[in-house]
């Protein structure tokens, strides 16, 4: 049934978005349903010329057709040059891995969703998108600075009260940047946040973004080079090496180790990598993880580990067989120190169980914790730069771990509660959100428990799923508006 439905989706999207082979005809001769005086003609022509959208086989554009979720995913990726992965695993039970739109949908998840996709979730690709949700995804994907909604900008719109709390700031940003103007009816202006968006309306929004902000839509030459680049073609640069790093290949990835550096004014280590830059630097080339313990001088990279590239970077996830330039950057309060750069590929281990090398590493971590426990009666709850503000307890049960924590206040310094994040790390004994990712987020303030089982997935951390026999540093972070956080203690424990 899933495959049949996937075929229907693919056929529908092909008709809806058109094929890139036919866009030239639309650009040359125009669309039969977009006359010269159509209010969105200029915007539509701009998007067609930039390979963002195209027409239908019958020569029409269908400007009034409402945008579906799958269409939005494809257009976000195409218009804003979002990086996609070849043959990704679908996060949704109604999207087949082989569906041609799967890679676009997966790439759009951080912008169309606020949290991790839970098991057995449906995407509903044909469902039409609310205007406020489309605006939020567009602003997030474009990485525009999001404005606070605490001003009078939205007050001119009679239906601003209909905006959801989670979309209000993004709509405010869109209005400020003149991406959204609203509609004028009688004596009032309206945003219509719960309305649906037509293809013509989205074309006008994207064209407005291209004209009035620093964001440029359409494929760029740099994006083409990044997408088409398969192998680095130059030697790594080690001209400015401050300390030494070694990399050993182990059965489930790469084992990095490096010289210990002075702890005075130390902030953290960053593990930096690039596919094409032989001299990767932080923050320009992103990072795989950061480590706040100055005594921690090793890290394991595995196939599938995520890579953070908000400031830059040319990939999202480590893949088997690809070669990466890798280095360590030590960040101090007064500057940075860089290791040598090593060019290496990552081996792939099909077994799901941790390798012997990794198990040995965990045993060594256990020994280090035991050796340090004489100076800290609570050594399993190490805190460095993040203070403990509420209590977390974890009990082992037959099929995993049961977490319970103190209920938090509904507001913090005037900022409203958003959600709890369950955070974990193998190597970092002081994991924090968002730097160390999360396994789940909980929007119900009154829900103060969560169950972790072997096999549960993990997003944007130093592992992809919880495994039996591996110990994790676990904490709860309560997230409030405007990047305000409260953190629990950290507990070091294996899942089973």
When pLDDT is averaged across residues 265-276 and rounded to a whole number, the result is: 88
- Bridge-partner residues for 216, per DSSP? none
72 and 205 housed in the same domain: yes
Q: For the segment 34-60, what is each residue's pLDDT rounded down to a tens digit?
A: 998 999 999 999 888 887 887 776 778
57 and 205 housed in the same domain: yes
Q: Between 106 and 304, name the one with better pLDDT.
A: 106
When pLDDT is averaged across residues 275-298 and rounded to a whole number, the result is: 83
**Which residue range(s) make up the domain with 344?**
245-351
Write the CATH number for 444. 2.60.40.10
370 and 337 housed in the same domain: no
13 and 124 housed in the same domain: yes
15 and 87 housed in the same domain: yes
For residues 17 and 53, is the Cβ–Cβ distance under 8 A? yes
CA angle 322, 323, 326 (to 5 degrees): 130
pLDDT at 151: 62
pLDDT at 57: 63
Query: Is 21 within the bounds of a domain?
Result: yes
Reported as a pLDDT band with limits 50, 70 and 90, residue 194 is: very high
For 204, half-sphere exposure in the C-beta direction (CA atoms, 13 angstrom radius) is: 16
Query: Is 103 within the bounds of a domain?
Result: yes
51 and 122 housed in the same domain: yes
422 and 471 housed in the same domain: yes
Query: Is 187 within the bounds of a domain?
Result: no
| Residue in 190, 329, 335, 195 with CA at minimum distance from that of residue 265 | 335
258 and 392 housed in the same domain: no
pLDDT at 15: 38
- Bridge-partner residues for 421, per DSSP? 441, 477
Query: Is 231 within the bounds of a domain?
Result: no
Q: For the segment 391-443, what is each residue's pLDDT rounded down to a tens digit?
A: 999 998 877 899 999 999 988 888 888 889 999 998 888 888 888 888 887 88
- In terms of C-beta distances under 8 Å and separation of at least 24 residues, what long-range contacts does 159-164 make, across chains too? 159/190, 159/191, 159/192, 159/193, 160/191, 160/193, 162/191, 162/193, 162/194, 163/132, 163/191, 163/193, 164/132, 164/193
Query: Is 144 within the bounds of a domain?
Result: no
pLDDT at 16: 43
Q: Between 354 and 77, name the one with better pLDDT.
A: 77
Query: Last residue of a domain, which of 351, 381, 398?
Result: 351
Q: For the segment 148-176, what is each residue's pLDDT rounded down to a tens digit?
A: 765 678 888 999 889 888 899 999 999 99
289 and 388 housed in the same domain: no
Query: Last residue of a domain, which of 331, 351, 371?
Result: 351
Share of residues in the chain with pLDDT > 70 (%): 80
The torsion of the CA quartet 192, 195, 196, 200, rounded to 10 degrees, works out to -30
324 and 383 housed in the same domain: no
115 and 11 housed in the same domain: yes
Q: Could you give the number of structural domains in the chain? A: 3
Q: Between 63 and 277, name the one with better pLDDT.
A: 63
pLDDT of 379 over the 50 cut: no
The torsion of the CA quartet 360, 365, 370, 376, rounded to 10 degrees, works out to -170
Query: Is 165 within the bounds of a domain?
Result: no
204 and 286 housed in the same domain: no
Query: Is 403 within the bounds of a domain?
Result: yes
Residue 214: partners with Cβ closer than 8 Å, 6 or more residues away: none
Q: Between 337 and 469, name the one with better pLDDT.
A: 337
pLDDT at 491: 94
Query: Is 186 within the bounds of a domain?
Result: no
Query: Last residue of a domain, which of 351, 379, 395?
Result: 351
Report residue 106 as tokens: 């997966």
pLDDT at 8: 37
């Amino acid at each position: 049934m899933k495959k049949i439905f996937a075929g229907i989706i693919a056929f529908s999207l092909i008709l809806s978005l058109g094929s890139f082979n036919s866009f030239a005809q639309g650009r040359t001769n125009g669309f039969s349903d977009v006359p010269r005086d159509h209010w969105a003609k200029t915007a539509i022509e701009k998007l067609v010329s930039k390979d963002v959208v195209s027409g239908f086989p019958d020569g029409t554009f269908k400007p009034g057709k409402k945008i579906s979720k799958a269409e939005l995913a494809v257009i976000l990726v195409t218009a804003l040059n979002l990086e996609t992965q070849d043959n990704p695993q679908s996060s949704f039970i109604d999207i087949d891995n082989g569906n041609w739109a799967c890679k676009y949908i997966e790439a759009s998840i951080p912008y169309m969703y606020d949290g991790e996709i839970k098991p057995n979730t449906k995407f509903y690709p044909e469902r039409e998108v609310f205007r406020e949700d489309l605006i939020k995804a567009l602003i997030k994907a474009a990485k525009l600075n999001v404005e606070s909604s605490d001003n009078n900008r939205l007050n001119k719109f009679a239906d601003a009260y209909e905006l959801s709390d989670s979309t209000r700031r993004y709509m405010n940003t869109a209005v400020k940047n003149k991406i959204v103007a609203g509609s004028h009816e009688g004596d009032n202006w309206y945003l219509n946040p719960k309305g649906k968006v037509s293809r013509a309306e989205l074309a006008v929004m994207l064209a407005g973004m291209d004209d009035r902000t620093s964001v440029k839509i359409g494929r760029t030459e740099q994006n083409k080079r990044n997408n088409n680049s398969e192998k680095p073609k130059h030697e790594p640069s080690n001209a400015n090496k401050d300390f030494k790093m070694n990399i050993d290949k182990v059965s489930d990835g790469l084992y990095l180790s490096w010289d210990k550096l002075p702890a005075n004014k130390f902030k953290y280590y960053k593990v930096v990598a690039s596919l094409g830059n032989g001299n990767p630097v932080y923050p320009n080339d992103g990072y795989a993880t950061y480590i706040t313990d100055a005594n921690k001088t090793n890290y394991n990279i595995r196939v599938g580990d995520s890579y953070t590239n908000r400031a830059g970077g040319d990939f999202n996830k480590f893949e088997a067989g690809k070669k990466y330039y890798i280095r360590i950057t030590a960040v101090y309060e007064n500057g940075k120190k860089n290791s040598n750069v090593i060019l290496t590929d990552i081996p792939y281990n099909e077994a799901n169980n941790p390798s012997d090398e990794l198990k040995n590493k965990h045993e060594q971590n256990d020994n280090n914790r035991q050796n340090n426990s004489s100076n800290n009666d609570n050594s399993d709850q190490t805190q460095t730069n993040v203070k403990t503000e509420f209590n977390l307890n974890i009990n082992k049960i037959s099929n995993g771990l049961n977490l319970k924590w103190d209920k938090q206040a509904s507001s913090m310094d005037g900022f409203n509660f958003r959600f709890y994040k369950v955070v974990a790390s193998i190597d970092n004994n002081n994991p924090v959100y968002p730097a160390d990712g999360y396994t789940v987020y909980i929007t119900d303030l009154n829900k103060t428990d969560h169950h972790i089982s072997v096999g549960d997935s993990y997003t944007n951390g130093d592992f992809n799923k919880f495994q039996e026999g591996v110990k994790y540093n676990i904490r709860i972070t309560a997230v409030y508006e405007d990047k305000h956080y409260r953190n629990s203690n950290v507990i070091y424990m294996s899942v089973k």
